[in-house]
Chain A
Amino acid sequence: MRGQGIWLRGISGLGMAFLYLPIIVLVVFSLNASRLSAAWQGFSWHWYGVLWQDEALLAAAANSLWIAALSTSLAVLLGLPAAMGLERLKGHGRQVVDMIFLLPLVLPEVMMGVALLLFFVVIHWPLSLATVVVGHAAFNLPIVVVMVRARLQKLDPRLEEAASDLGASAWQTFYRVTWPLVRPAVLGAALLAFTISLDDFIVTFFVAGPGATTLPLKVYSMIKSGLSPEINALSSVLVLSSMGLVGLSLIFQRR
C-alpha cells in the first residue's frame, strides 16, 4: 500500500512479538540450570524433575483435571440442548433467554466469584471441590451455547425436515442427522471449556474449599511466597498444554 507496507509490517511484527515474547521467555528460562532464574547458566531439565516429585502439586493437577472434566461434561449436557432450543425459539423470548445465557460471559470475573461465594454461604453449601465444579459449569455453559449455536445457524433446516418427513422420530432425527453435523462444534467447544476451566483462577479462588487446590491456585501461592525457578517449569507446562488444547479445539471448529 504505497509505502505503508514497511511501517505496517513493522508495527504488526512488534505486536505479535509483544504477545509471544513473555511466553517464550518463560519456557526458555524453565530450562535454565540456575537457581537465580534470570541469569542463564546452562540447559537443564532439573526443574521439571522437581515438579514431578512434588506430591501436593500432583494432587492439585488431579483436582484441576477432575474439575475441568466434570464442569465441561455438565456444560455440554446442558448447553447442547439449550443451543438447539434457542434456535427454535423466536420473538422476544429468544432475546431475553439469549441475554440470560450470555450473562456469565460479560460479568466481571471478580463479581462472578464473590456472587457464587455469597450464594454458597447463604444456602449453607460448604465450599469444596463440588462448588468449584458448579461455578466452572456456570461460566462454561455460555461458551458451549454460543459455539454450538454458531454451527446450528449454518445448517440447512431442510435436512431435519426431510428426516421427519421420512418418518424419523425427534430422537432419531437428532441422533442420525443433527448430531453428526454438530459434533465437531461440540468437541471444539468442549475442548475450549476444558481449557478455560483448567486455567481459571478467579472464580476458583473464591469458591474452592479446603482440599480443592487447583494448579492455578498452586501457581498463585507459589508466586506469592517468592519466585522460584520451579514456577517457570510449572507455568510452561500449563501454557503449553492449554496451547495444545486450544489448537485441537480450533482444528475441530474448522471441520
Chain B
Amino acid sequence: MNHSPPSIASSPSGRSCSKSSGLLLPGLLWTTVFCLLPIAVVLAVSLATRGTYGGVLWEFSLDNYRDLLHPLYGRIFGQSLLLAGAATGLCLVLGFPLAYYIARLPPRRQALWLVLIMIPFWTNFLVRTYAWMFILRTEGLLNTVLIQLHLISAPLDLLYSNQAVLLGLVYGYLPFMVLPLYAAIERIDPALIEAAWDLYADRWSLFRRVLIPLTKPGIVAGCVLVFIPSLGAYLTPDLLGGARSMMVGNLIQHEYLVARDWPLGSALSIVLMLIVMSSLLWYFAAQPPQARERGEP
C-alpha cells in the first residue's frame, strides 16, 4: 500500500483510470447482477402484497413490516438476538485466553496453532454440526458413554434445545473470534505488560487496564464476526434446536419455502440485513484508521 501512489502518479492518470475500469467492469457487473439486484428485488417484494395462493401482487404496502411487530415474530427475533449475543460472549471468554496463549508462543508454533484454528473454520459446516447431533442425541455417543460408566441410568435430553444451539454456534464461530483477537494481542509491545507487572498490577487489572484497551479493535472485530453469522444462523438451530429454538434464519426459510409468504419473508430478510449492516458500521468505526484505509478485515 505504501508503494502504490507513485505507480499511479507515474502513469498518465486518464489512461490508468480507463484501464482500471475495464479490468473492474466484468466482476462489478457480476456482483451487481447477482447480489445487488437480488437484494433490490427482496426490498421490492417486501413492500408488495402476498397473492391469495402465494406469489406476489405488486401492490405497495407496509403491512409486511407491520406484521413483524406480531409477538410471535418479536419472540423469534428476541431469541435470535439473545442466542447470538450469548454465543458472542462465550466465544470472547473462551477465545481471549486462547488468542493470548497463541500470541505468546514462539513464532513457529504460533503459525502452527493458527493453521489448526483456521482449518475447522474452512471445513464443511453442515458436517461439523451433524457431528454434534451424533454426540448429543438420545442414543448418541455422550449418553452411551455416560450410561456405560454408570454415571446416569437413563439418557439425558441434550439435543434439540437452546443449549445445544448455543453450543453449536460457539463451536462453529470460535475461530472468527480467535483470529482478530490474536492479531490485536500479537501487536502489543511485551514491555507494556512487563511494566504493568513491575507496577504491581494484579492479573485482573492487567487484563482490564492494559489488555482490553489495547486490543479493543480486535475485540470489536471478533464480536462482530461471531455475532453476524450467529444471528443469521440457519443450519445450527435447524439441526440442533427444537421446535422452540427457531431463529430468524429458520423463520425466513419457513416463510419462503413452507408458508410461501414471500413478501413477509422478504421483510424479515431486510430487517435482518439492517441489523447486520449496523453492527458492521460499529465494526468499521472501531478499527484504527490505517487498517480502515487498507480495507483489511
B-binding residues in A (CB < 8 A)? 1-2, 4, 8-9, 11-12, 15-16, 18-20, 22-23, 25-26, 29, 36-39, 74, 77-79, 81-82, 84-90, 95, 97-98, 100-101, 103-104, 106-112, 114-119, 122, 134-135, 137-138, 141-142, 145-146, 153, 155-158, 160-161, 164, 170, 192, 195-196, 198-199, 201-202, 206, 216, 219-220, 223, 227, 231-232, 235, 238-239, 242-243, 246-247, 250
Contacts and interface: CB of A to CB of B under 8 A. Distances in A.
B23 interface: yes
Nearest to A150: B296
A161 B11 CA distance: 9
Given A103-B36, A109-B234, A247-B119, A25 B23 contact: no
Contacts of B232: 108-111
B194 to A, nearest CB: 10
A11 B21 contact: no
Interface of B: 1, 3-4, 6-8, 10-11, 16-17, 19-28, 30-32, 34-39, 41-42, 45, 94-95, 97-98, 100-102, 104, 113, 115-120, 122-128, 130-135, 137, 139-141, 143-144, 171, 174-175, 178, 197, 203, 228-229, 231-232, 234-235, 239, 248-249, 252-253, 256, 262, 265-266, 269, 272-273, 276, 280, 294-295, 297
Contacts of A89: 17, 20-21, 24
Given A15-B94, A84-B20, 12 more contacts: A16-B98, A23-B120, A23-B131, A82-B28, A85-B24, A101-B27, A114-B252, A118-B38, A119-B41, A201-B126, A206-B256, A239-B123
Nearest to B256: A114
Which 7 A/B pairs are nearest by Cβ-Cβ distance?
A108-B232, A85-B23, A82-B27, A157-B7, A85-B24, A22-B131, A115-B38
Taking each of B130, B175, B178, B280, which has the highest tally of chain A beta carbons within 10 Å of its own beta carbon?
Answer: B130
**What is the interface of chain B mostly: helix, strand, loop, or mixed?**
helix
B135 A11 contact: no
Contacts of A79: 27
Contacts of A8: 97, 100-101, 104
B3 A141 contact: no
A101 B120 contact: no
B23 A201 contact: no
Contact of B126 (A11, A22, A196, A199): A199
B73 to A, nearest CB: 15
A81 B29 CA distance: 13
B34 A138 contact: yes
A65 to B, nearest CB: 15
Nearest to B99: A12
B123 A4 contact: no
Nearest to B231: A108
Given A12-B97, A110-B249, A239-B128, A195 B122 contact: yes
Contact of A108 (B30, B175, B229, B239): B229
A82 B19 CA distance: 11
19 contacts: A12-B102, A16-B116, A20-B116, A25-B134, A26-B134, A78-B30, A82-B23, A82-B28, A87-B4, A100-B32, A109-B232, A109-B234, A111-B272, A115-B38, A115-B41, A118-B41, A122-B41, A135-B34, A219-B126
Contacts of A158: 3, 7
B122 A118 contact: no
A127 to B, nearest CB: 12
Contacts of B234: 109-110, 202
B252 to A, nearest CB: 5
